[in-house]
């Protein structure tokens, strides 16, 4: 089976499509920076700003009784001695009222323990074996943020350097352009997710961006390799050779994306909730990455 | 041919070795998989960076305290030059550990300034009042917790504030009580002058229950020079109305007078007791802190993660489902598209999985949730190399080349792309591992190891297994390598 993507004909459409995606991402980032309550390009999660996150299950005989978060909060207010704990407390019931999840600003272990025992009095008994509690101080949060940003910049620099050494200037430039396009779009999608669904990003998001960077460059490199190889041996025109090379690599690139997406999909479906957004970010990155490797980067190489 | 057979035996040997390793050295599971608590301790230094010596010194003190606490199978390691990570597996409450570890435990002995007796008495009285109010407030049940009760406490607090000529700034009642308590503690400490005797002069600490009541007291044993200093200090204030205060982290935990009978020699014998109404728990915590020595730099607990054991085992199951379903689906996809070649890649994937796990137990790598996702993700990477090669082989076959030639040149021509791809991913892993947090390191480690192993399995093992298959005449048919309908192209 041969593939026949009409790259030359559709160059304008492809570049236009990518421009629109990029602009939409930028719009999300700008909107998030200036118009939302968190005033950041993206909704930073607990890892980066500090706080307390608690998930714990109730022990119920048959079905867990229906409770409204508001009434629980009122009760908490009544019995909590340290009122500080209740500032900005967010409480949710999930899994048919079985799972309680709570977010507050940073608490000490002692304060968090008190909160849990108060909670036990109101909605208990609680199953302590199912507890998942994270307390992150604001200092550490800031540090994690700096660390993540540095890791991203350093590895982007390293990848850029490698590509520049490995390829001619033109190839390197376009491979990197495709890379930043992919990262920007994934970042933008999460900005929008933050605005619309209050999805937060944590340190694993930075990891997913880094992994996407590796993948995206890898995909582009394989296609550019093919183009280089064919330009040396084929007698057809420059643009035609590029289109041919893309079609020859099409199966490989889509297959690779599929075999990578399959395990990620398994994590999304079966894995722990803490890996959900991480796997989703990676999946999005791989989809956008394949698109940019197959269509965008080679289109940029085409001559008018 | 001989050489290939050698490789085949080597691969079988590796597989056996991996299985052997996994049986005898089980994988270490992270706290998110087995349940437990993890505390991150940050060393606080106002100016400059924490030096290696300082880090080691803090580490040693924390290590002693952890050991004296008697938590089982705890694990302490340093991170990034100014952090320590303490892991407490199982259902051990991190609260006690955090109370004991978080304190600097700087012990000082101070003597009272002359002529401050009245001031001290007032402050001591108020301290007692505040303590009573706090006890009352925190032990009261919800039923008593009505407006009347709150009003009494607020009135009491106001009275104390007037007495002390200090007004609190906290927004809630509990905060105000804690604030005024701190103020009084500080004021009391200020009435005393430092001496050259400190926690450094201790060689041991212990605790025992007081005979007269159920309270506990903490026993201090001084070194020789410490004993002499103690005698000297007690001698200087014996018989006067100046008191000796024992101060822990700026808060006086005991003020005592020294009797006239010690005016000549001071208190000798090299030991002292602190009896400050300790509960059994408090006495034990203080003992552990004093035994471990004071921290050269203060620390702060900046992160605490606690995962219940049940949740941990659920996480293992979930990861297992994800990994196995991922592997099976990828296997089906590969066999569907590449027939025999797909089967070869499934075999080398199985080997890949075993080699990875064996390396984890050998290095050892502690397996965490992000670590597992790194492993699952690297499956995709490993398959990618196979796809690159197989696509090349297919092209060669379409061009009418023989099977053996197609296989050979397929591997050869895919080589550079594979190496490139692996290097870019390795670069990312390397940076992540250097700069990332513990959490992220787990991911970088498994993905990195996976990428390295995949270089070996996809280039070498796939080739060897494929060669082995093609020695069977019945398998050397092109339609076992290409879907039939494609020949028409």
CA distance A128 to chain B (A): 6
Confirm or reject contact between A204 and chain B (CB < 8 A).
Answer: yes
Q: Which of A3, A256, A289 best probes binding to B when mutated, by most B CB atoms within 10 angstroms?
A: A256
> Which residues numbered 134-153 in A keep a CB inside 8 Å of some CB on B?
134-137, 139-140, 144, 147, 150-151
Confirm or reject contact between B329 and chain A (CB < 8 A).
Answer: yes
In whole angstroms, what is the distance from residue A134 CA to residue B308 CA?
12
Query: Within 10 A of B144 (CB to CB), how many other CB atoms are there?
Result: 10
Contacts (Cβ under 8 Å, ≥6 apart) of B132? none
CA angle (A222, A224, A226) in 5-degree steps: 70
Taking every pair of Cα atoms in chain B, the longest distance, rounded to a whole number of angstroms, is 114
Confirm or reject contact between B302 and chain A (CB < 8 A).
Answer: yes
The 3-class secondary structure across chain B, one letter per residue, is: CHHHHHHHHHHHHHHHHHHHHHHHCCCCECHHHHCEEEEEEEECCCCCCCCHHHHHHHHHHHHHHHHHHCCCCCEEEEECCCEEEEEEECCCCHHHHHHHHHCCCCEEEEEECCCCHHHHHHHHHHHHHHHHHHHHHHHCCHHHCCHHHHHHHHHHHHHHHHHHCCCCCCCCHHHHHHHHHHHHHHHHHHCEEEEEEEHHHEEEEEEEECCCCCCEEEEEEECHHHHHHHHHHHHHHCCCCCEEEEEECCEEEEEEECCHHHCCCCCCCCEEEEEEEECHHHHHHHHHHHHHCCCCCCEEEEEEEEECHHHHHHHHHHHHHHHHHHHHHHHHHHHHHHCHHHHHHHHHHHHHHHHHHHHHHHCCCCECHHHHHHHHHHHHHHHHHHHHHHHHHHHHHHCCCCHHHHHHHHHHHHHHHHHHHHHHHHHHHHHHHHHCCHHHHHHHHHHHHHHHHHHHHHHHHHHHHHHHHCCCHHHCCHHHCCCHHHHHC
Confirm or reject contact between B240 and chain A (CB < 8 A).
Answer: no
Confirm or reject contact between A274 and chain B (CB < 8 A).
Answer: yes
Under the banding of pLDDT at 50, 70 and 90, the label for residue B167 is confident
| Chain A CB contacts of B380 below 8 Å | 256, 259-264
Residue B160 buriedness (CB in 10 A; 0-12 / 13-18 / 19+): buried
CB B37 within 8 A of CB B87: yes
Confirm or reject contact between B204 and chain A (CB < 8 A).
Answer: no
| Chain B CB contacts of A252 below 8 Å | 387-388, 391
| Chain B CB contacts of A214 below 8 Å | 424-425, 427-428
- Select from A24, A26, A298, A17 the least CA-distant residue to A178: A298
Q: Which of B171, B420, B440 sits opposite A207 (nearest CB)?
A: B440
CA distance A33 to chain B (A): 26
Contacts (Cβ under 8 Å, ≥6 apart) of A82? A111, A114, B172, B174, B175
In whole angstroms, what is the distance from residue B288 CA to residue B207 CA?
10
Per this entry, what is the length of chain A?
304
Q: Which of B308, B390, B419, B450 best probes binding to A when mutated, by most A CB atoms within 10 angstroms?
A: B308
CB A191 within 8 A of CB A31: yes
Cβ–Cβ below 8 Å for A162 and B423: yes
Cβ–Cβ below 8 Å for B308 and A269: no
Chain B: residue nearest A266 by CA? B322
Residue A119 buriedness (CB in 10 A; 0-12 / 13-18 / 19+): buried
In whole angstroms, what is the distance from residue A140 CA to residue A285 CA?
28
CA distance B310 to chain A (A): 5
Residue B317 buriedness (CB in 10 A; 0-12 / 13-18 / 19+): exposed
> Which residues numbered 38-57 in A keep a CB inside 8 Å of some CB on B?
56
Cβ–Cβ below 8 Å for A263 and B137: no
Choose the weakest-confidence range: A140-144, A173-177, A205-209, B473-477.
Answer: B473-477
Under the banding of pLDDT at 50, 70 and 90, the label for residue B146 is low
Give the mean pLDDT of A154-166. 85
Q: Is the dihedral of CA A42, A47, A52, A53 positive or negative?
A: positive
Q: Which of A82, A162, A278 sits opposite B174 (nearest CB)?
A: A82
CA distance B158 to chain A (A): 18
Mean pLDDT taken over chain B: 83
Q: Is the dihedral of CA B95, B98, B99, B100 positive or negative?
A: positive
CA distance B97 to chain A (A): 10
CA distance A35 to chain B (A): 30
Phi, psi of B170 (to 5 degrees): -65, 160
Q: How far apart are the first and last CA of chain A?
A: 29
Confirm or reject contact between A127 and chain B (CB < 8 A).
Answer: yes
Chain A: residue nearest B419 by CA? A218
The 3-class secondary structure across chain A, one letter per residue, is: CCCCCCCCCCHHHHHHHHHHHHHHHHHHHHHHHHHCCCCCCCCECHHHHCEEEEEEEECCCCCCCCCCHHHHHHHHHHHCCCHHHHCCCEEEEECCCCEEEEEECCCCHHHHHHHHHHHHHHHCCEEEEEEEEEEECHHHHHHHHHHHHHHHHHHHHHHHHHHHHHCCHHHHHHHHHHHHHHHHHHHHHHHHHHHHHCCCECHHHHHHHHHHHHHHHHHHHHHHHHHHHHHHHCCCCHHHHHHHHHHHHHHHHHHHHHHHHHHHHHHHHHCCHHHHHHHHHHHHHHHHHHHHHHHHHHHHHCCC
**For A282-302, how does the pLDDT look when each residue is reduced to its tens digit (9 = 90+)?**
999 999 999 999 999 999 999
| Chain A CB contacts of B335 below 8 Å | none
Confirm or reject contact between B307 and chain A (CB < 8 A).
Answer: yes
Confirm or reject contact between B40 and chain A (CB < 8 A).
Answer: yes
Q: Which of A54, A179, A270 best probes binding to B when mutated, by most B CB atoms within 10 angstroms?
A: A270
Confirm or reject contact between B301 and chain A (CB < 8 A).
Answer: yes
CA angle (B412, B416, B418) in 5-degree steps: 95
Cβ–Cβ below 8 Å for B416 and A225: yes
Q: For the stretch B463-488, what's the b/e string if a residue is b when 16 or more beta carbons lie within 10 angstroms of its beta carbon?
A: bbbbbbbbeeeeeeeeebbbeeeeee
Q: Could you tell me what percent of chain B has a pLDDT over 90?
A: 5
Q: Which of A79, A203, A266 sits opposite B439 (nearest CB)?
A: A203
CB B316 within 8 A of CB B29: yes
Per this entry, what is the length of chain B?
489
**For A216-273, how does the pLDDT look when each residue is reduced to its tens digit (9 = 90+)?**
888 888 898 889 889 988 778 899 999 999 998 898 899 989 998 998 999 899 888 8
CB A297 within 8 A of CB A174: yes
Cβ–Cβ below 8 Å for B387 and A139: no
> Which residues numbered 342-371 in B keep a CB inside 8 Å of some CB on A?
369-370
| Chain B CB contacts of A225 below 8 Å | 416-417, 420
Assess whether pLDDT exceeds 70 at residue B403.
yes
> Which residues numbered 9-38 in A keep a CB inside 8 Å of some CB on B?
none
Q: Is the dihedral of CA B147, B152, B157, B158 positive or negative?
A: positive
Taking every pair of Cα atoms in chain A, the longest distance, rounded to a whole number of angstroms, is 83
Q: What is the predicted ipTM?
A: 0.85
| Chain A CB contacts of B334 below 8 Å | 259
Assess whether pLDDT exceeds 60 at residue A208.
yes
Whole-number pLDDT of residue B487: 45
A51-58 and B83-89: which strand pairing?
Answer: unpaired
Under the banding of pLDDT at 50, 70 and 90, the label for residue B484 is low
| Chain A CB contacts of B432 below 8 Å | 151, 155, 207, 210
Which residue carries 């909060």 as its tokens? Answer: A73
Cβ–Cβ below 8 Å for A214 and B417: no
Pick B6 or B449 by higher pLDDT: B449
The 3-class secondary structure across B87-149, one letter per residue, is: EEECCCCHHHHHHHHHCCCCEEEEEECCCCHHHHHHHHHHHHHHHHHHHHHHHCCHHHCCHHH
Q: Which of A79, A131, A267 sits opposite B376 (nearest CB)?
A: A267
Q: Could you tell me what percent of chain A has a pLDDT over 70?
A: 97
Give the mean pLDDT of B445-474. 86
Cβ–Cβ below 8 Å for A207 and B370: yes
Under the banding of pLDDT at 50, 70 and 90, the label for residue B428 is confident
Q: Which of A83, A144, A218 sits opposite B174 (nearest CB)?
A: A83
Residue B148 buriedness (CB in 10 A; 0-12 / 13-18 / 19+): exposed
Choose the weakest-confidence range: A45-59, A184-198, B414-428.
Answer: B414-428
CB B307 within 8 A of CB B35: yes
Confirm or reject contact between A60 and chain B (CB < 8 A).
Answer: no
Chain B: residue nearest A148 by CA? B436
Confirm or reject contact between A161 and chain B (CB < 8 A).
Answer: no
Confirm or reject contact between A83 and chain B (CB < 8 A).
Answer: yes
Assess whether pLDDT exceeds 70 at residue B144.
no
Under the banding of pLDDT at 50, 70 and 90, the label for residue B3 is low
Task: Give Cα separations from B392 to A252, B34, B386, B479 (angstroms).
Answer: 9, 45, 10, 16
Cβ–Cβ below 8 Å for A214 and B376: no
Residue A243 buriedness (CB in 10 A; 0-12 / 13-18 / 19+): buried
Confirm or reject contact between A105 and chain B (CB < 8 A).
Answer: no
Cβ–Cβ below 8 Å for B330 and A127: no
In whole angstroms, what is the distance from residue A219 CA to residue A259 CA?
14
**For B89-128, how does the pLDDT look when each residue is reduced to its tens digit (9 = 90+)?**
876 778 888 888 878 888 888 988 888 888 888 888 888 8
Whole-number pLDDT of residue B249: 82
Q: Which of B298, B371, B432 best probes binding to A when mutated, by most A CB atoms within 10 angstroms?
A: B432
Whole-number pLDDT of residue B2: 59
């Amino acid at each position: 089976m041969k593939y026949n993507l009409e790259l030359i004909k559709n160059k304008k459409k492809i570049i236009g499509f990518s421009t629109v995606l990029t602009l939409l991402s930028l719009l999300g980032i700008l909107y998030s920076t200036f118009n939302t309550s968190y005033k950041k390009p993206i909704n930073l999660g607990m890892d980066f700003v500090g706080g307390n996150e608690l998930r714990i299950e109730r022990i119920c005989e048959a079905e867990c009784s229906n409770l409204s978060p508001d009434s629980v909060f009122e009760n908490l207010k009544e019995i909590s001695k340290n009122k500080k704990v209740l500032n900005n407390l967010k409480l949710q019931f999930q899994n048919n009222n079985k799972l309680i999840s709570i977010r507050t600003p940073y608490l000490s272990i002692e304060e968090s323990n008190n909160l849990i025992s108060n909670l036990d009095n109101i909605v208990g008994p609680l199953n302590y074996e199912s507890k998942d509690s994270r307390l992150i101080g604001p200092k550490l949060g800031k540090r994690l943020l700096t660390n993540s940003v540095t890791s991203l910049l350093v590895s982007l620099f390293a990848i850029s350097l490698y590509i520049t050494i490995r390829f001619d200037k033109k190839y390197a430039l376009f491979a990197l352009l495709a890379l930043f396009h992919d990262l920007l779009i994934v970042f933008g999608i999460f900005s929008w997710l933050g605005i619309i669904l209050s999805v937060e990003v944590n340190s694993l998001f930075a990891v997913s961006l880094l992994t996407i960077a590796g993948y995206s460059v890898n995909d582009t490199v394989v296609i550019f390799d093919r183009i280089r190889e064919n330009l040396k041996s084929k007698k057809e025109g420059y643009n035609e050779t590029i289109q041919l090379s893309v079609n020859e690599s099409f199966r490989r690139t889509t297959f690779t994306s599929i075999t990578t997406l399959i395990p990620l999909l398994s994590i999304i479906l079966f894995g722990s909730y803490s890996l959900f957004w991480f796997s989703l970010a990676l999946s999005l990155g791989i989809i956008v990455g394949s698109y940019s490797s197959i269509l965008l980067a080679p289109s940029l190489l085409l001559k008018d | 041919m001989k050489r290939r057979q050698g490789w085949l035996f080597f691969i079988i040997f590796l597989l056996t070795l991996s299985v052997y390793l996994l049986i005898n050295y089980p994988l270490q599971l992270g706290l998110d998989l087995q349940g437990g608590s993890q505390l991150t301790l940050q060393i606080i230094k106002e100016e400059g960076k924490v030096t290696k010596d300082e880090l080691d010194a803090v580490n040693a003190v924390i290590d002693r305290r952890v050991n004296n606490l008697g938590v089982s199978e705890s694990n302490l390691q340093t991170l990034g030059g100014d952090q320590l990570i303490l892991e407490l597996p199982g259902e051990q409450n991190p609260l006690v550990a955090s109370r004991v570890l978080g304190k600097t435990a700087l012990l000082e002995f101070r003597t009272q300034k002359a002529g401050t007796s009245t001031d001290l008495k007032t402050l001591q009285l108020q301290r007692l009042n505040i303590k009573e109010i706090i006890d009352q407030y925190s032990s009261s049940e919800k039923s008593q917790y009505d407006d009347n009760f709150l009003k009494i406490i607020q009135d009491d607090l106001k009275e104390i504030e007037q007495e002390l000529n200090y007004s609190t700034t906290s927004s809630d009642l509990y905060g105000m009580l804690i604030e005024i308590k701190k103020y009084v503690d500080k004021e009391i400490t200020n009435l005393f002058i430092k001496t050259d005797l400190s926690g450094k002069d201790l060689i041991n600490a212990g605790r025992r229950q007081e005979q007269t009541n159920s309270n506990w007291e903490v026993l201090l044993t001084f070194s020789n020079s410490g004993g002499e200093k103690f005698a000297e200090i007690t001698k200087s204030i014996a018989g006067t109305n100046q008191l000796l205060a024992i101060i822990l982290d700026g808060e006086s935990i005991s003020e005592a007078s020294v009797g006239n009978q010690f005016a000549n020699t001071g208190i000798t014998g090299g030991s002292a007791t602190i009896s400050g109404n300790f509960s059994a728990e408090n006495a034990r915590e203080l003992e552990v802190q004093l035994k471990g020595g004071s921290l050269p730099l203060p620390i702060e607990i900046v992160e605490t993660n606690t995962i219940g054991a049940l949740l941990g085992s659920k996480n293992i199951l979930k990861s297992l489902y994800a990994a196995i379903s991922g592997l099976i689906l990828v296997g089906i996809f590969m066999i569907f598209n590449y027939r025999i070649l797909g089967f070869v890649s499934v075999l080398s994937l199985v080997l890949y999985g075993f080699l990875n796990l064996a390396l984890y137990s050998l290095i050892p790598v502690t397996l965490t949730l992000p670590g597992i996702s790194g492993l699952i993700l690297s499956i995709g990477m490993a398959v990618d190399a196979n796809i690159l090669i197989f696509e090349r082989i297919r092209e060669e076959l379409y061009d009418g080349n023989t099977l053996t030639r197609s296989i050979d040149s397929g591997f050869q021509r895919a080589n550079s792309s594979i190496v490139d791809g692996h290097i870019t991913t390795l670069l990312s892993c390397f940076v992540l591992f250097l700069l990332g947090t513990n959490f992220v390191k787990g991911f970088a480690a498994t993905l990195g190891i996976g990428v390295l192993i995949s270089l070996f399995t996809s280039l070498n093992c796939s080739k060897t297994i494929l060669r082995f298959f093609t020695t069977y005449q019945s398998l050397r048919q092109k339609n076992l390598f290409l879907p039939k309908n494609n020949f028409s192209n």
